[in-house]
Amino acid sequence: MSARTKARKRALDILYAADMRQITVPQALATEAERAAGEPAREASWLYAREIVDGIVDHQVEIDELIETYAQGWTLKRMPAIDRALLRIGIWEILFNDEVPDGVAISEAVEAATVLSTDDSAGFVNGLLAKIAQVRPTD
């Protein structure tokens, strides 16, 4: 598993923990930062995980509006928490991280949905992220 894949998993854990514990994402991030300080061997994945989560916090309104716009009949609250988190990570990578190709961001999110969520989640995540990649503004 690549360092970025591990980082995405850590970011997913942080977003999911915040959702399930009904705490803010910055609170969940602070808790993970304390834990990460004691795990120097995992620093490479921690740095990118933090970048992802900070980016999602910075662009949360825009990201969530895109999900609501393109989810066709699904509200954020109606989606499984894992799917919400995966979509936020995927959208952040597509829109705000030029180092990650759209196809990689989509593929990573779909793979995680396949393993961690419902039978229909992978297709849902794939379709929504592909649509956002297709309609995003280009420079």
Q: What is the pLDDT of residues 105-134, one digit of tens each?
A: 999 999 999 999 999 999 999 999 999 999
Spatial neighbors of 132 by CB under 8 A, at least 6 apart, are 66, 70, 90, 91, 94, 95
Mean pLDDT (the chain) is 92
Q: What is the fold, at CATH topology level, of the domain defined by 3-135?
A: N-utilizing Substance Protein B Homolog; Chain A (1.10.940)
Kindly report, residue by residue over 9-23, the tens digit of the pLDDT: 999 999 999 999 999
What are 68-97's pLDDT values in tens digits? Answer: 999 988 889 999 999 999 999 999 999 999
Domain locations along the chain: 3-135
| Structure tokens, 66 | 């895109």
Q: Report the distance separating Cα 138 and Cα 121, nearest Å.
A: 28
- Alpha-carbon dihedral of residues 63, 10, 28, 55, nearest 10 degrees? -30
Please give the pLDDT value at position 139: 56
The confidence band for 53, taking pLDDT boundaries of 50, 70 and 90, is: very high
| Structure confidence at residue 125 (pLDDT) | 96
Q: Is the pLDDT of residue 37 over 70?
A: yes
